[in-house]
Amino acid sequence: MIHARITGTGSFAPKKVLTNHDLEKMVDTSDEWIFERTGIRERRICEKGQTTSDLAYEAAHRAIKAAGITAQDLDLIIVGTLTPDSAMPSLGCVLQAKLHAKKAAAFDIYAACSGFIYGLSVADAFIRSGVHETILVVGAEALSRYTDWEDRTTCVLWGDGAGAAVVQRHAGKRGILSTHLHSDGSYGDVLHIPGGGAAHPATHDTVDKRMHFIKMKGNETFKIAVRALEDVVQEALDHNKVKAEDIDLLVPHQANLRIIQAMAKRLNMPMEKVILTIHKYGNTSAASIPMALDEAVRDGRVKENKLILLEAFGGGLTWASALIRW
Ligand code: UT7
């Protein structure tokens, strides 16, 4: 039996910390409001000049080392991001150059917060079909560069960071058991960056109208997210014929503690089985799952043969799950 197995993980967050108390000085908000509504206490923000590829490089380097391979062994690099260093080239190609991963093809996946699971799904398909043997999947974001620091409804949410996983061919029962991907583009405008694309290329007017920042209808997104995540998690359980109690660890996208608690309740899962990083990193979009996964791998909560469920929801709208036998 051929599976795609994660053989190494890595993550990286910029040093600079922005606390809720710092935000109290910037917009009309409070530590109490932010923590109660989201579970966030602080987040990391890129230094001036630090870019998404810098974060991605550090995370990738750690994952490659953990897998016991070199960058030259990589057949493919897949990066989930909505904040590449520039519109072209792709972040994957920038990362490929920084890693000197000469043999690897590279591309980006544009599925917002679901980007890492989407990437994992593509890697899984390439490996099980025999096309590639060793793939690096990265989630990396510098959301602070797209944050409207005058909009209290969004600026308190986002953070910067990167996470990575080396995925390799494994003849055996362990590895990615299933992935399920979903999208509904009819809800595109509940979570979007309206400016900077072909519809509204950058002009003085788009800048004046603040169209280059992330906009979100938070409450609407919240409600759709809970429903969609419940469905995609059930789909993963049904597909694999496993029960919720069989799941050893949940590694959710870290958008809102209340959404994560709702999912844990739905799975009848104690919060000890849920990996949480939202309090210290905020919502890092595509980076949040691989950052949380790496933390749990390194502190020993992820163990051989454990059944691990990943789930994400984000702009697009997109949502996804992956079930892994570690
Ligand atoms: O990662 C991609 C997917 N993202 C998500 O899934 C995020 C989903 N949404 C959320 O996490 C939540 O909707 C938010 C955390 C964004 C907002 O929480 P909420 O409980 O849905 O609050 P709300 O938007 O309904 O706003 C409640 C009140 C409003 O005031 P009024 O109209 O009731 O007077 C807001 O103006 O809270 C106000 N408010 C704030 N107050 C203090 C909004 N932002 C802030 C703030 N500080 N930062």
Q: How far is the CA of 218 from the centre of ligand 1 (A)?
A: 6
DSSP H helical ranges for 192-252: 204-208, 218-240
Query: Would you name the residues annotated as active-site residues?
Result: 113, 253, 283
| Model pLDDT, residue 6 | 98
Q: Identify the residue whose C-alpha is closest to ligand 1 atom 45.
A: 153
> Tens of pLDDT along 37-61?
999 999 999 999 999 999 999 999 9
Residue in 219, 224, 281, 284 to alter for ligand 1 test, most ligand atoms within 8 A of Cβ: 219
> Tens of pLDDT along 70-87?
999 999 999 999 999 999
Residues 9, 14, 15, 16, CA torsion sign: negative
Residue type at position 234: Q
Q: How far is the CA of 224 from the centre of ligand 1 (A)?
A: 14
Over residues 9-19, the mean pLDDT reads 98
Confidence of residue 122 (pLDDT cuts 50, 70, 90): very high
| Model pLDDT, residue 285 | 98
> Tens of pLDDT along 85-102?
999 999 999 999 999 999
Nearest residue to 80 via CA among 137, 124, 136:
137
Confidence of residue 36 (pLDDT cuts 50, 70, 90): very high
How far apart CA 267 and CA 278 sit, in angstroms, is: 20
Region for residue 276 given its phi and psi (left: phi exceeds 0; alpha: psi -120 to 50; beta: otherwise): beta
> Tens of pLDDT along 222-266?
999 999 999 999 999 999 999 999 999 999 999 999 999 999 998
Confidence of residue 188 (pLDDT cuts 50, 70, 90): very high
How far apart CA 141 and CA 154 sit, in angstroms, is: 16
| Model pLDDT, residue 315 | 97
Mean pLDDT of the chain: 97
Dihedral angle over CA of 7, 13, 14, 15, nearest 10: -110
| Model pLDDT, residue 147 | 98
Confidence of residue 114 (pLDDT cuts 50, 70, 90): very high
Q: Identify the residue whose C-alpha is closest to ligand 1 atom 21.
A: 219
Q: Identify the residue whose C-alpha is closest to ligand 1 atom 16.
A: 218
Q: How far is the CA of 153 from the centre of ligand 1 (A)?
A: 6
Nearest residue to 313 via CA among 228, 238, 219:
228
> Tens of pLDDT along 127-184?
999 999 999 999 999 999 999 999 999 999 999 999 999 999 999 999 999 999 999 9
How far apart CA 95 and CA 191 sit, in angstroms, is: 27
Residues in the ligand 1 pocket, defined by CB under 6 Å: 29, 33-34, 37-38, 113, 152-153, 156, 218-219, 221-222, 225, 255-256, 259, 283, 313-314
Cβ neighbors of 8 (< 8 A, separation 6 or more) are 63, 64, 65, 66, 67, 68, 69, 165, 166
Nearest residue to 257 via CA among 184, 160, 157, 164:
157
| Model pLDDT, residue 245 | 94
| Contact of 163 with 60, CB cutoff 8 Å | no
| Model pLDDT, residue 68 | 98
Q: Buried (b) or exposed (e) across 153-171, using 16+ Cβ within 10 A?
A: ebbbbbbbbbbbbbbbbbe
| Model pLDDT, residue 291 | 98
Give me the percent of the chain exceeding a pLDDT of 70.
100
Q: Buried (b) or exposed (e) across 68-84, using 16+ Cβ within 10 A?
A: ebebebbbbbbbbbbbb
> Tens of pLDDT along 280-310?
999 999 999 999 999 999 999 999 999 999 9
Token pair 């844990």 in the structure block, residue:
264
Cβ neighbors of 129 (< 8 A, separation 6 or more) are none
